[in-house]
C-alpha cells in the first residue's frame, strides 16, 4: 500500500516547464529612430555627466557611449546656454537625444525649439505651488504635441508633489503610481499620447512594487531604473537586484543603470542584466563552474580563450564548460553545447548527448567546431535582432538529435 504524501504533487504537474512571464504589452511610442513598447527590444540608454553647453565634451562623451552600445542618450538642460547647444549636439551624434528638465518649465519650452527626440519632465518639480490646473505642465505638453516630440513623465519618490505625499503619508508605491496617472490624464486631456513613464526610487522594494502596480493599470511604455544607485560595484548589484524582478515580470521598454562617475560602464551593466533575465540576449551564454578543489583542468585559461573567440558573435546559444566530473556531465547536458572535463580531457555534449572526447589542449577548438554546427542547424530558427526581446534563448528549446 502506497503511503499518501503530505505534498500536493498536482501543483508541480500543472506548473509550466519553461519558466518566464510574457512581456507586458504596451502601446508603441516613437523616439527618433527607436520605437518603445509593443514588440520592440528593450532599449539601453544612459545620461551624460558633462556641462551640456560644452558641446565638444558632451559630444565626445556621447560618442564613447555609442561605441559601448548605448542606444539613446539624455542630457540635462538647466540653463538657456544648455538649450542653445542642443541643435549642434544632435547634429553630431548618431543616437536619439533626450533632454532632461527638472525645475524650470521654460527650459522645456526652449529645448522643444530644437531637433531633440524626447523630453523628460518631472512634473512634481515644475508645478507652481497651489496651481491645481497644472498650467506649466500643460504648456509643455501642448508644445511637445505641436512639435511631435514624445515625453517621459518621470515620477521620482524623492520629489513627489505634497498633495499626493500627504494623502498616502509618505512616498510609497501607490503614491508614485497615482502621481503618474494624474499627469497621464492631464496629458491625455490635451490630446497628447506620446508618453513614456518612469517610477524611480533609490529603494529597490519601492521601485519594484511601483512598476508592478503601474503595469496593472496602464499600458504606456516604461523606462525602468533604480535611481541614485551609487558607486560600483555595489551600485551594479543593487540595480540588478531591482531591475531583475521588474524585467522577469515582463515590465520595461527601456532601461538605464545609474552609476556614479563615468557613464560608459552603465551600458555593459544594462545589457548584462537584460542577458541574465533573458529579456534581450545578444551574445552566447557562457557558463563555467567555480574553481574548487575538484577542478582538474586549467579552466580560467579555457574560459579566457573562449571569451576572446566568441567576441562579437550574436547567437542565443548556451555553452557550458565544467571542470570536474561531479556536476559536469549533468550541467553540460542542459546546455546547447557543453563540456565536462577532468584529468586532461573533456567530454563534448551537444543537445544533451555526449558525442566525443578530446584532449584538454583541443577543448576550445572542439567547442568552436560544435558552435559552427549548432549555428548551421538552427539558422532557420534563429530570431532576428528586431524581435520582441532581441535574441532570446527561450525561443530556442533544446531539441535532441
pLDDT at 383: 61
The structural domains of the chain, ordered by start, are 29-276 (3.20.20.20), 285-395 (3.30.413.10)
DSSP 395: G
Global pTM value: 0.88
- Say if CB 221 and CB 36 are below 8 A apart: yes
Beta-bridge mates of residue 381: none
Residue with cell 558633462: 50
Strands (E) across 257-352 are located at 285-288, 318-322, 337-342, 345-350
pLDDT at 20: 82
pLDDT at 199: 96
Q: Which three cell numbers stand for residue 331?
A: 550541467
* Alpha-carbon distance values, 20 to 14, 15, 129, 130, 261 (Å): 15, 11, 45, 46, 34
CA-CA-CA-CA dihedral for 217, 129, 82, 115, to nearest 10: 40
For the chain, the first-to-last Cα distance in angstroms comes to 41
pLDDT at 394: 42
Strands (E) across 195-246 are located at 195-200, 223-224
pLDDT at 329: 64
* Alpha-carbon distance values, 271 to 88, 108, 275 (Å): 29, 30, 6
pLDDT at 47: 97
How many other CB atoms are there within 10 angstroms of residue 340's CB atom? 25
50 Cβ neighbours under 8 A, 6+ residues apart: 57, 58, 61
Q: Which three cell numbers stand for residue 53?
A: 553647453
Mean pLDDT, 10 residues at a time, the chain of 401 residues: 85 87 94 95 96 98 97 96 97 97 92 97 81 88 97 91 90 95 97 97 96 97 91 94 96 96 96 92 82 68 90 86 67 80 82 86 90 86 53 39 26
- Positive or negative, the CA dihedral 268, 45, 185, 180 is positive
259 Cβ neighbours under 8 A, 6+ residues apart: 229, 230, 231, 232, 235, 236, 239, 265, 266, 269
- Say if CB 364 and CB 302 are below 8 A apart: yes
* Residue of 115, 113, 153 lying closest to 134 (CA atoms): 153
Alpha-carbon gap, residue 116 to 140, rounded angstroms: 14
pLDDT at 315: 84
Name the 3-class secondary structure at 346: strand
Amino acid at each position: 500500500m502506497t503511503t499518501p504524501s503530505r505534498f500536493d504533487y498536482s501543483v508541480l504537474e500543472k506548473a509550466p516547464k519553461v519558466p518566464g512571464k510574457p512581456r507586458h504589452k504596451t502601446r508603441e511610442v516613437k523616439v527618433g529612430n527607436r520605437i518603445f513598447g509593443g514588440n520592440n527590444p528593450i532599449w539601453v540608454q544612459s545620461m551624460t555627466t558633462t556641462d551640456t553647453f560644452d558641446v565638444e565634451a558632451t559630444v565626445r562623451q556621447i560618442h564613447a557611449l555609442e561605441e559601448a552600445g548605448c542606444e539613446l542618450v539624455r542630457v540635462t538642460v538647466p540653463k538657456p546656454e544648455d538649450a542653445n547647444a542642443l541643435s549642434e549636439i544632435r547634429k553630431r551624434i548618431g543616437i536619439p537625444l533626450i533632454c532632461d528638465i527638472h525645475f524650470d518649465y521654460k527650459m522645456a519650452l526652449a529645448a522643444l525649439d530644437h531637433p531633440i527626440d524626447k523630453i523628460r519632465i518631472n512634473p512634481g518639480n515644475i508645478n507652481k505651488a497651489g496651481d491645481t490646473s497644472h498650467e506649466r505642465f500643460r504648456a509643455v505638453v501642448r508644445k511637445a504635441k505641436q512639435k511631435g516630440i514624445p515625453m517621459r513623465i518621470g515620477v521620482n519618490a524623492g520629489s513627489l508633489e505634497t498633495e499626493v505625499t500627504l494623502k498616502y503619508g509618505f512616498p510609497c508605491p501607490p503614491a508614485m503610481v497615482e502621481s503618474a496617472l494624474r499627469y497621464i490624464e492631464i496629458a491625455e486631456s490635451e490630446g497628447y499620447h506620446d508618453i513614456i513613464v518612469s517610477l524611480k526610487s533609490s529603494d529597490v522594494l519601492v521601485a519594484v512594487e511601483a512598476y508592478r502596480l503601474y503595469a496593472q493599470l496602464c499600458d504606456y511604455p516604461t523606462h525602468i531604473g533604480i535611481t541614485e544607485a551609487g558607486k560600483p560595484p555595489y551600485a551594479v548589484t543593487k540595480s540588478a537586484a531591482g531591475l531583475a524582478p521588474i524585467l522577469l515580470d515582463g515590465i520595461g521598454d527601456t532601461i538605464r543603470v545609474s552609476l556614479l562617475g563615468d557613464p560608459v560602464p552603465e551600458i555593459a551593466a544594462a545589457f548584462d542584466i537584460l542577458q541574465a533575465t533573458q529579456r534581450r540576449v545578444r551574445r552566447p551564454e557562457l557558463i563555467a563552474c567555480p574553481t574548487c578543489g575538484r577542478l582538474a583542468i586549467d579552466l580560467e585559461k579555457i574560459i579566457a580563450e573562449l571569451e576572446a573567440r566568441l567576441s562579437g558573435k550574436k547567437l542565443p546559444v548556451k555553452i557550458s564548460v565544467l571542470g570536474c566530473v561531479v556536476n559536469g556531465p549533468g550541467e553540460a547536458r542542459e546546455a546547447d553545447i557543453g563540456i565536462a572535463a577532468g584529468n586532461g580531457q573533456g567530454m563534448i555534449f551537444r543537445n544533451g548527448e555526449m558525442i566525443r572526447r578530446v584532449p584538454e589542449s583541443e577543448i576550445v577548438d572542439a567547442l568552436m567546431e560544435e558552435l559552427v554546427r549548432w549555428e548551421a542547424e538552427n539558422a532557420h530558427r534563429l530570431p532576428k535582432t528586431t524581435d520582441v526581446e532581441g535574441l532570446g534563448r527561450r525561443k530556442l528549446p533544446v531539441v535532441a538529435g
